[in-house]
Structure 1
Amino acid sequence: MEFDPIPIGSCSKDHQNIYQQWFNHADSDGDGRITGNDATKFFAMSNLSRQHLKQVWAIADSKRQGYLGFQEFIIAMQLVSLAQSGHPITHDLLNSDVDLKNLKPPILEGLDALLAKKKHKQSELDVNGSSQLQPSPSSSWFSSKSTKKVPLSSVTSIIDGLKRLYIQKLKPLEVTYRFNDFVSPLLTNSDFDAKPMVMLLGQYSTGKTTFIKHLLKCSYPGAHIGPEPTTDRFVVVMSGPDERSIPGNTVAVQADMPFSGLTTFGTAFLSKFECSQMPHPLLEHITFVDSPGVLSGEKQRTQRAYDFTGVTSWFAAKCDLILLLFDPHKLDISDEFNRVISSLRGHDDKIRVVLNKADQVDTQQLMRVYGALMWSLGKVLNTPEVTRVYIGSFNDKPVNDAVSGPIGKELFEKEQEDLLSDLKDIPKAACDRRINEFVKRARAAKIHAYIISHLKKEMPAMMGKAKAQQKLIDNLAGEFGKVQREFHLPPSDFPNVEHFRESLSGYNIDKFEKLKPKMLQVVDDMLAYDIPNLLKNFKNPYD
């Protein structure tokens, strides 16, 4: 599975210093990224047509992230300079014979004056020893009718648009009714910007780590392979500037990684979690999650020090594809594996089954193995659809023709092509999934607000508050029914009663907020108008 590497622009040290100064100016919120309104204003100073600037953006943002880092910004500036010199803007332009190292920076009308003004202002602030807070550059976008709307031209991608909608419209509702304490942590920029993830689950020695190495065509930091349970931790394999392993406690606090939610599983888990980074073209598009082998037989008596099922459920919600690996000699689904598969409910559309090491049995045995596997899965995967099973031998060794025969070899090659095709479609499907998950989250936040405000309304004004709260908690299923009937909400969208009751017991219901119809109306307008408008103006970047 090959992905085209991103062309890296090169320029002299002097020009890099100039571009760094420009980048810092354009990056008004200081997050190391240029996106949205910042990009529109800055690139407009080049006086190139909107069509030319869209081409510049598309080539510079070759990872389709919806923003430019410093390296991509240099590429964009070089393209602008070439366009101003009369070169046609194409994907091959940076790979042509143009002398990029000595290419002069583009002419940006009014930029020198802005930089001088900023420098003068900064020197005044240094003299006075104080600074004033700057307004957020994204303070109004897709906002309600009472405020001025920022045009769609300030948005650079669907993900950029969802990010802004969340900050301005959905997050206030979540904070007001403590959605993050009951349902899901607040989203950060890294949650939106994260690359699609593929998680591998299976018993030990079913070939999970080897599968990742087979796709990468090389090993990665921290990879261990053997017949015994060698991977005793969750390992996230992702793109990075160099090869290194980052401990779990460090990963969980890094703002540019979408793993902060794992802190809820405690130090016992974080000590069994690490991130393996390396530069690789495939990892520019997909992140892999390698998991510890699921225990079976007597090994199940060994208690893990953390909530293994809870962790797999957390990753399942974040992942775009979940691969369950089996080998022909390990088809039994242990109690722990059963619990793990049960924790994947609600993510059935992401699950694919891989029957690995299939060249270890002949064709007749393979048919029996396949039937036994489908029978075992039928008992734990409660779906009307037949689960897709890929059959093959996913490692770097040649297929064992002596056992599988010519028919088996042809079958394995076709199955491998199908699986690779499925993996190649992940980046495209990930954009659609993020939209879908965003809408689901918005609806869940609305229902949560209705529940919290209803419980607040049921509390007495003066006496007997403790008794009333306990009564509400005990009759939580009945209270859910009242909310459902009052606001005509689908029962299937309500949270799990027992889980909600457990979370609710630690709070004083009387301190909750009353229903705020205007806040809910903002979210309704977002779902009815803003998201359709966003999809109308921006296509999936992988289409």
Structure 2
Amino acid sequence: MDILSSRSNTKQDEEKYRHWFDYADADGDGRLTGDDAVKFFSLSQLPRAELKQVWAIADVKRQGFLGFKEFVSAMQVISLLQSGNDIGPDILKNADLEKIGAPTMVGLVELLSKGLRGSKSSNGSIHSNGSSPQQQASQTSQWFREKTPRRSLSSVSVTSIVDGLKKLYIEKLKPLEVTYRFNDFVSPTLTESDFDAKPQVMLLGQYSTGKTTFIKHLLRTSYPGAHIGPEPTTDRFVVVMGGADERNVPGNTIVVQADMPFSGLTRFGQAFLAKFECSQMPHPLLDHITFVDTPGVLSGEKQRTQRSYDFTGVTEWFASKCDLILLLFDPHKLDISDEFKRVITSLRGNTDKIRIVLNKADQVDTQQLMRVYGALMWSLGKVLNTPEVMRVYIGSFNDRPIDETKLGPIGKDLFEREQEDLLSDLKDIPRKACDRKSTSL
């Protein structure tokens, strides 16, 4: 009897979850996006920090959306949290899934009763104008029959531009690349992770120009493995991305994971992989953007010591994959060394992605800042060899308040506006990433 009862309860919960999923899925494409999840999960009245971890645990494939199976896992995690369990990556592994009841979602019954009127239902029986689904479908087909005689791809298969590009590439272009061995002569074939990867921002600059501090400033916290100091502290390429928990993954592991777009880095050898790692942590910003922190570019006597791997080649590889490249400069380090010149030269072909950041600008007064800005533009003009003036953001991107004793109120206002412009540029990255993938394909 207990087994039959548990099976009955499980079936009832599954039907309830299906009903909830159909309601939460605003687009009706079988995928629960982040915005849909925020609205629905908030009905559990759990803290926002815990709900972020719920999403990270449910989205195990890092797809950026939840299917019905992942949605059920999220509901089970919420139910366990409401029962007083501690959240963790193994919360479902240590629980008896058949005994987990549906969570309490405050006000959901009222929302369901209102939401089913004037919207699509799971069986399509209720509509705002009182007509049946078959009648509405026939009317729609008449409206668009001349314009759209047939649909080449179903709406379920293609729910976004990136999904459509991925499907077209796998079905149409990849067989041609394999047949003519395009991957052996030009570039390796693309994988699903190359399409599904989040937009990337790479930070380049000499040591102690504030690259790691810049990432910490945007995240409002330090990522795992971050080291900040006046001497060269970041000695490796670090990919900072979202994850279910805080951890560091070695480069040898990350390049062989099928769901990660870093398999192409294997050609730089073991010496580079020893200097490459992935830092994962749950964070709302990292759900949309991935940061690439790089070692400080060498200058002076240090650049005479050769690195054990092709540093310029690695930066060129990341530049082709990234959607924004930030070149950071320090007011006291405007000289462009030989290695830095080689790195900047390797970025040609990606100049539309480059933004210049004059960081730590609050360390000089207004008069000195004007001279520093002019000297920076003169140095860049010789290296970039382009008539266009690149966008330069001036500011002090750290968690310390701006010191008005040197710059005065005009300088503070300038810094705040420059920071807003840079943040707007960062917010626009997902759209640019979609355009870039369409263009490159």
Q: Do both share a fold (TM > 0.5)? A: yes
Residue 74 in 1 paired to residue 72 in 2? Answer: yes
For residues 341 and 354 of structure 2, what CA distance do their matches in structure 1 show? 14
Secondary structure of 1:60 counterpart: coil
Specify the alignment match of 1:206 in structure 2. 209
**Counterpart among 338, 350, 354 of residue 351 in structure 1:** 354
Look up the equivalent residue of 1:337 and give its one-letter code.
F
Specify the alignment match of 1:98 in structure 2. 108
Q: Please, which moves more after superposition, 397-406 or 274-283?
A: 397-406
For residues 366 and 440 of structure 2, what CA distance do their matches in structure 1 show? 42
Specify the alignment match of 2:417 in structure 1. 414
Question: Residues 235 and 291 of structure 1 are in contact (CA less than 8 Å); yes or no, is this contact kept in structure 2?
Answer: yes
For residues 372 and 214 of structure 1, what CA distance do their matches in structure 2 show? 27
For residues 304 and 327 of structure 1, what CA distance do their matches in structure 2 show? 23
Specify the alignment match of 2:383 in structure 1. 380
Q: Following TM superposition, by how much is the alpha carbon of 1:151 offset from its aligned partner in structure 2, in angstroms? A: 3.9
Secondary structure of 1:55 counterpart: coil
Specify the alignment match of 1:140 in structure 2. none
For residues 332 and 400 of structure 1, what CA distance do their matches in structure 2 show? 26
Secondary structure of 1:154 counterpart: coil
Look up the equivalent residue of 1:98 and give its one-letter code.
L
For residues 24 and 275 of structure 2, what CA distance do their matches in structure 1 show? 49
Specify the alignment match of 1:194 in structure 2. 197
For residues 21 and 434 of structure 1, what CA distance do their matches in structure 2 show? 38
Over 3 Å counting, the alpha-carbon distance change for 1:390 and 1:21 in structure 2 is same
Question: Residues 63 and 284 of structure 1 are in contact (CA less than 8 Å); yes or no, is this contact kept in structure 2?
Answer: no
**Counterpart among 222, 225, 247 of residue 222 in structure 1:** 225
Specify the alignment match of 2:86 in structure 1. none
Specify the alignment match of 2:132 in structure 1. none
Specify the alignment match of 2:34 in structure 1. 62
For residues 384 and 298 of structure 2, what CA distance do their matches in structure 1 show? 19
Specify the alignment match of 1:154 in structure 2. 157
Q: Following TM superposition, by how much is the alpha carbon of 1:384 offset from its aligned partner in structure 2, in angstroms? A: 2.8
For residues 52 and 413 of structure 1, what CA distance do their matches in structure 2 show? 38
Specify the alignment match of 2:261 in structure 1. 258
For residues 389 and 105 of structure 2, what CA distance do their matches in structure 1 show? 47
For residues 432 and 211 of structure 1, what CA distance do their matches in structure 2 show? 26
TM-score, normalization: structure 1?
0.58
Identity of aligned residues (%): 73
Secondary structure of 2:336 counterpart: coil
Over 3 Å counting, the alpha-carbon distance change for 1:371 and 1:160 in structure 2 is same
For residues 222 and 15 of structure 1, what CA distance do their matches in structure 2 show? 48
- In structure 1, the gaps of 5 or more residues are 1-12, 23-42, 79-93, 101-106, 110-147, 439-543
Q: Following TM superposition, by how much is the alpha carbon of 1:57 offset from its aligned partner in structure 2, in angstroms? A: 4.2
For residues 252 and 19 of structure 1, what CA distance do their matches in structure 2 show? 43
| Aligned residue runs from structure 1 range 300-339, under 5 A | 300-339=303-342
Over 3 Å counting, the alpha-carbon distance change for 1:374 and 1:95 in structure 2 is farther
For residues 320 and 194 of structure 1, what CA distance do their matches in structure 2 show? 11
C-alpha distance after superposition, 1:437-478 (max 9, x if no partner): 11xxxxxxxxxxxxxxxxxxxxxxxxxxxxxxxxxxxxxxxx
| Aligned residue runs from structure 1 range 139-178, under 5 A | 149-152=152-155, 154-178=157-181
Specify the alignment match of 2:368 in structure 1. 365
Specify the alignment match of 1:277 in structure 2. 280
For residues 383 and 276 of structure 2, what CA distance do their matches in structure 1 show? 27
Over 3 Å counting, the alpha-carbon distance change for 1:52 and 1:239 in structure 2 is closer
| Aligned residue runs from structure 1 range 482-493, under 5 A | none
Over 3 Å counting, the alpha-carbon distance change for 1:240 and 1:20 in structure 2 is farther
Specify the alignment match of 2:80 in structure 1. none
For residues 162 and 297 of structure 1, what CA distance do their matches in structure 2 show? 46
Secondary structure of 1:397 counterpart: coil
Question: Residues 324 and 352 of structure 1 are in contact (CA less than 8 Å); yes or no, is this contact kept in structure 2?
Answer: yes
C-alpha distance after superposition, 1:138-191 (max 9, x if no partner): xxxxxxxxxx95545532211111111111111111112222122211111111
For residues 263 and 365 of structure 1, what CA distance do their matches in structure 2 show? 45
Secondary structure of 1:306 counterpart: coil
For residues 253 and 234 of structure 1, what CA distance do their matches in structure 2 show? 17
Question: Residues 60 and 75 of structure 1 are in contact (CA less than 8 Å); yes or no, is this contact kept in structure 2?
Answer: no
Q: Following TM superposition, by how much is the alpha carbon of 1:62 offset from its aligned partner in structure 2, in angstroms? A: 2.1
- In structure 2, the gaps of 5 or more residues are 1-5, 37-62, 77-103, 111-120, 124-150
Over 3 Å counting, the alpha-carbon distance change for 1:408 and 1:155 in structure 2 is same
Look up the equivalent residue of 1:97 and give its one-letter code.
G
Question: Residues 209 and 359 of structure 2 are in contact (CA less than 8 Å); yes or no, is this contact kept in structure 1?
Answer: yes
| Aligned residue runs from structure 1 range 498-537, under 5 A | none
Question: Residues 31 and 66 of structure 2 are in contact (CA less than 8 Å); yes or no, is this contact kept in structure 1?
Answer: no
Over 3 Å counting, the alpha-carbon distance change for 1:266 and 1:77 in structure 2 is same
Question: Residues 60 and 68 of structure 1 are in contact (CA less than 8 Å); yes or no, is this contact kept in structure 2?
Answer: yes
Q: Following TM superposition, by how much is the alpha carbon of 1:14 offset from its aligned partner in structure 2, in angstroms? A: 8.0
For residues 392 and 15 of structure 1, what CA distance do their matches in structure 2 show? 62
Q: Please, which moves more after superposition, 286-295 or 401-410?
A: 401-410
Over 3 Å counting, the alpha-carbon distance change for 1:173 and 1:354 in structure 2 is same
Q: Please, which moves more after superposition, 251-260 or 170-179?
A: 170-179
Question: Residues 199 and 319 of structure 1 are in contact (CA less than 8 Å); yes or no, is this contact kept in structure 2?
Answer: yes
| Aligned residue runs from structure 1 range 18-37, under 5 A | none
Specify the alignment match of 1:529 in structure 2. none
Look up the equivalent residue of 1:265 and give its one-letter code.
F
For residues 380 and 183 of structure 1, what CA distance do their matches in structure 2 show? 28
Specify the alignment match of 2:118 in structure 1. none
Over 3 Å counting, the alpha-carbon distance change for 1:409 and 1:149 in structure 2 is closer
Secondary structure of 2:279 counterpart: strand
Over 3 Å counting, the alpha-carbon distance change for 1:207 and 1:66 in structure 2 is closer
Specify the alignment match of 1:434 in structure 2. 437
For residues 9 and 229 of structure 2, what CA distance do their matches in structure 1 show? 47
Q: Following TM superposition, by how much is the alpha carbon of 1:59 offset from its aligned partner in structure 2, in angstroms? A: 7.6
Question: Residues 199 and 323 of structure 1 are in contact (CA less than 8 Å); yes or no, is this contact kept in structure 2?
Answer: yes
Over 3 Å counting, the alpha-carbon distance change for 1:235 and 1:192 in structure 2 is same
For residues 16 and 228 of structure 1, what CA distance do their matches in structure 2 show? 61
For residues 397 and 428 of structure 2, what CA distance do their matches in structure 1 show? 19
What is the number of residues matched between the two proteins? 344
Q: What is the RMSD of the two structures over their aligned residues, measured on CA atoms?
A: 3.3
Question: Residues 34 and 64 of structure 2 are in contact (CA less than 8 Å); yes or no, is this contact kept in structure 1?
Answer: no
For residues 232 and 387 of structure 1, what CA distance do their matches in structure 2 show? 28
Secondary structure of 1:429 counterpart: helix
Q: Following TM superposition, by how much is the alpha carbon of 1:96 offset from its aligned partner in structure 2, in angstroms? A: 5.1
